[in-house]
Structure 1
Amino acid sequence: MAAAEAAAVVLSCLKPDPAPVPESAGTAAATAATSSAMAAAAAVAAAARTGSEARVSKPALATKLLSLSGVFAVHKPKGPTSAELLNRLKEKLLAEAGMPSPEWTKRKKQTLKIGHGGTLDSAARGVLVVGIGRGTKMLTSMLSGSKRYIAIGELGKATDTLDSTGKVTEEKPYDKITQEDIESILQKFTGNIMQVPPLYSALKKDGQRLSALMKRGEEVEAKPARPVTVYSLSLQKFQPPFFTLDVECGGGFYIRSLVSDIGKELSSCANVLELTRTKQGPFTLEEHALPEDKWTIDDIAQSLERCSSLFPAELALKKSKPEESNEQVLSSLLVRV
């Protein structure tokens, strides 16, 4: 007999007689015993239901995970690269759904399709936009969209990476630089300008990233200056040698190059000490970026629902065709990180 059925029988047997019975010590003891037994039976029934739910939860979660489509944002901490963070996110979701299990590994195409919409430096933190399912097709629009950053620069030191992770290549005095000096030159870096990308970057030469070539000690020529757009640029704080900038820019712009160029314009040098992306497209760090403890299937599903209204109608995802079976949906999804 199943546990739930057994509990139902126990509960049935323990129904009190509808006729009133005078209270006595013996009756009270019997009533207490009856209540205890009923509670135990209810616990058995609950355990049976929980066991049943546990048996179906993993397949149900896997189906839900692989049906997710759209774009959301996560909060990237300092340390991991954008690709490493995406792998961590994917692993957490697959583990929650009980994948890969033997039945999944037999069908290699039935895996998770996920990607990010714009690399964030490993030393930086902030908004990283993620596409899941058919939402990966929307990520191209995120690459060219506007982004906003809070950057803390350090005057007097230049590094090979243009940030604090690199080796110091030059030191110059900065003691005569004033807040007014910095504010007066920011207009030169606002609007449509030309910018030389840093050597340590995700840009490629012969199919390989410049940063990878530099780390191997190979000679790399700087890429030519290219047009970029800065929508707004302001100085938030100046406490020598540190200065804080609020920057809103378009795609392909490098904050590290901006800070380095500002240092040169001031007849000194500078590198990025801290960098936070506070906004990418319609996603903001405060409102939309999920911290790691929210990287669950349910939390992401809720975020996708909330974020669907952030995009214009022409970017809205089409719903799956009703006749499309789970097997067809699963077999059409490929891992992309």
Structure 2
Amino acid sequence: MSGTVVEAVRGKAAAAQLLSFSGLFAVYKAKGCTSAAALNRLRAKLLAEAGMPKLSRRKKNKMLKIGHGGILDSSAAGVLVVGIGKGTKMLSSLLAGSKKYTAVGELGKATDTFDSTGKVTEEKPYDWITKEDLENVLQKFTGSIMQVPPIYCALKRDGQRLSTLVKKGEVVEAKPARQVMVYSLTLRSFKPPFFTLDVECGGGFYVRSLVNDIGKELSSCATVLELTRTKQGPFTLEEHILYEDKWTIDEVARSLECCMPLLQEEPPCKKLKMELSEECAMNSEDK
């Protein structure tokens, strides 16, 4: 059998295997890359390996159904849960479940986006703030709290994202405060003006808003410098996650097989009675 024929047979087998996939797995989304871009890159790599790289974008999306379980800011890194095939229908359950983040904040500075990508809108002194002050404030943001989402976000008005409208120069009012859940909030380190938080929260929660609100509560201001999602569902940065060098058909197959029992063992999601329709799991764009 010639080499060309062997390659064709292998290509057909790889394509058949890829199109048979159904389930959930997780990938690492790098900082500076949108969730949509990470998903598109993953899809392109898998289709290219299966010998189907020349399809139009519309045909690629239709042929290989794939989605992510919760948007991760382009300035953030970490766990991005991916649904493939019929697994995309399982993504919505992850939105209401808990997630864990590590956030590095900076006191004395506020930006319009509530993170380091935005324009500085305010600067205030912070010299008097102690570690004890910060730890005391954190207690006010634990449990069921009311939170106003940032204007630069994926929430929509008239079918368009608020962040898109703001970038167009339109006047955008913040969405009303809504109930969110913070299961745990701890101070990992405090080296003024910088502080590091570990957060476990429910669906619809914005760590950027949390840090901004903490700054105000301290009679100063604060913004997010770095944000990493460390866990979503059974998927963590330490295990059960595929980094980009592992975005292959064989590695996805192994991950799907490995993660199936984990999903069955995962305890029921900590659900909140709130509107989550604005945060669509399978949206192909990012904040």
Give the secondary structure class of the aligned counterpart of 1:290: coil
1:307 corresponds to 2:264:
no
Structure 2: 5+ residue stretches without partners: 268-281
1:291-317, CA deviations, whole angstroms, 9 ceiling, x for partnerless residues? 0000000000000000001123899xx
Matched residues, number: 269
- Which residue in 1 is equivalent to 2:34? 81
- 8 Å Cα contact 1:114/1:336 also seen in 2: no
Give the secondary structure class of the aligned counterpart of 2:117: coil
Give the alignment partner of residue 178 of structure 1, picking from 109, 130, 153: 130
Alignment of 1:268-287 (within 5 A): 268-287=220-239
* RMSD, aligned α-carbons: 2.1
The Cα of 1:53 is off from its aligned counterpart by 2.8
- 8 Å Cα contact 2:67/2:83 also seen in 1: yes
- 8 Å Cα contact 1:172/1:269 also seen in 2: yes
The whole-number CA distance in structure 1 between the counterparts of 2:62 and 2:81 is 23
The whole-number CA distance in structure 1 between the counterparts of 2:238 and 2:52 is 31
The whole-number CA distance in structure 2 between the counterparts of 1:110 and 1:254 is 31
| Cα 1:113–1:267 shift into 2, 3 Å | same
- Which residue in 1 is equivalent to 2:102? 150
- Which residue in 2 is equivalent to 1:40? none
- Which residue in 1 is equivalent to 2:149? 197
Alignment of 1:165-244 (within 5 A): 165-244=117-196
Structure 1: 5+ residue stretches without partners: 5-47, 316-334
- Which residue in 2 is equivalent to 1:117? 69
* Greater CA drift, 86-95 or 157-166: 86-95
1:183-236, CA deviations, whole angstroms, 9 ceiling, x for partnerless residues? 011110000000000000000000000011111111000100000000000000
One-letter amino acid matched to 2:175: K
- Which residue in 2 is equivalent to 1:321? none
1:67 corresponds to 2:17:
no
Give the secondary structure class of the aligned counterpart of 2:229: strand
- 8 Å Cα contact 2:44/2:53 also seen in 1: no
The Cα of 1:73 is off from its aligned counterpart by 0.2
- 8 Å Cα contact 2:233/2:266 also seen in 1: no
One-letter amino acid matched to 1:53: V
- 8 Å Cα contact 2:68/2:283 also seen in 1: no
Give the secondary structure class of the aligned counterpart of 1:218: coil
4+ runs of 1 displaced by more than 4 Å? 107-110
1:214-270, CA deviations, whole angstroms, 9 ceiling, x for partnerless residues? 111110001000000000000000001000000000000000000000000000000
- Which residue in 2 is equivalent to 1:262? 214
